[in-house]
Amino acid sequence: MEKIILDGRIVAKHITENLIGRVKDLKERGVTPCLATILVGDDPSSETYVKMKGNACERIGIKSLRIHLPKETQTVDLLKVIEELNQDNSVHGILLQHPVPSHIDERKAFESIDIAKDVDGVTSIGFGQTAFGFGKFPSCTPAAIMEIIKYYKISITGKHAVVVGRSPILGKPVSALLLNANATVTTCHSHTVNLSELLKQADIVVAAIGKPNFIKGSWIKDGAIVLDAGYKKGNVGDVDYMECFEKAGAITPVPGGVGPVTISMLLKHTVISAETSIPQSH
């Protein structure tokens, strides 16, 4: 079997090229898609991510509205900012950069985002809609994983997918998306017994546990599809890349795998939200 590198940069380019024309059409109709990003505090990684997202927006003609709040900001102040953005018809997507300072009720802040503008898929309503199969904006990393699978024409129906991780914006929603695509899904986590044995049964492995080099090549079945959603400094993912490369039939690199597609899905969701807003505004 020929080994495939699942190159996220190619997938991201395919998505963004399609969006350029859609953004142009929207502007001709008097609507400029706008993504508002809120950053609370001075976390350097978060600042970098927000900047990357803003630059990606601007490259394809989406307006990037950046709101930087001091780390002393209280939950009530953050909720006020989100409510103003909910009411602003020129804003189509709202992204609250995670994590926020520990004294802020992050979940309360996420829940206050209008479902129509929840382009990052962080609300419980959005999660519920994703699980039921009619969510417009799944969390961007799970959406990216599904987009990579689709682009490379990987068959999911009847396959056994093992997801390692159960976070509300990655492990849980990607499990739901795979299940809706007719995979048989096992969701594993830090308390799972015999994780390596379960992974040996997997046709599709999604690594989303946030531990560098955690998944070993000896745990992977020959020919398995490996999608690594982890990223740590030094370009390290959640799977031991060199070991898993030897066994896998297809694998995402780190960097250049799931990451670029995650950002392009955020752009896509913002454009869809802008397109959806047009009937209400005329």
Whether 149 is covered by a domain: the verdict is: yes
**Statement to judge: residues 62 and 106 lie in one domain:** yes
Q: Is 53 a catalytic residue?
A: yes
Tell me the pLDDT band of 233, cut-offs 50, 70 and 90. Answer: confident
| Cβ(145)–Cβ(153) below 8 Å | no
Does residue 178 sit within a domain? yes
Catalytic residue among 97, 117, 129, 238: 97
pLDDT reading at 280 higher than 70: no
Task: Mark whether 171 and 65 lie in a shared domain.
Answer: no
Domain annotation covers residue 202: yes
Catalytic residue among 7, 120, 203, 240: 120
| Mean pLDDT, residues 148-163 | 98
Instruction: Note down the domain range covering 191.
Output: 140-259
In percent, how much of the chain has pLDDT > 70?
A: 98
- The Cα–Cα gap between 203 and 242 comes to 19
Cis peptide before 253 (omega within 30 of 0): no
Q: What is the predicted pLDDT for the residue at 281?
A: 41
The CATH number of the domain where 104 resides is what? 3.40.50.10860
State how many domains the chain has.
2
Residue 226 lies in a domain: yes
**In this model, does residue 282 exceed pLDDT 70?**
no
Residue 252: CATH number of its domain: 3.40.50.720
Confidence (pLDDT) at 278: 87
pTM confidence score: 0.95
Instruction: Indicate whether 279 pLDDT > 80.
Output: no
How many angstroms separate the CA atoms of 132 and 52, rounded? 32
What pLDDT, on the 0 to 100 scale, is given for residue 232? Answer: 87
**Would residue 238 show up in a list of annotated catalytic residues for this protein?**
no
Q: What is the pLDDT of residue 1?
A: 60
Averaged over 237-243, what is the pLDDT?
Answer: 96
pLDDT at 165: 97
Q: Beta strands 225-228 and 250-251: pairing type?
A: parallel
The position carrying tokens 């802040």 is: 109
| Helix, strand, coil percentages, rounded to 5, for the chain | 45, 15, 40
Q: Between 130 and 281, name the one with better pLDDT.
A: 130
Catalytic residue from among 53, 117, 172, 268: 53
Confidence band for 2, pLDDT divided at 50, 70 and 90: confident
Tens digits of per-residue pLDDT, 125-146? 999 999 999 999 999 999 999 9
Give pLDDT tens digits for 41-60.
999 989 999 999 999 999 99
* Residue 16 reports pLDDT greater than 80: yes
Mean pLDDT of 189-208: 96
120 catalytic? Reply is yes
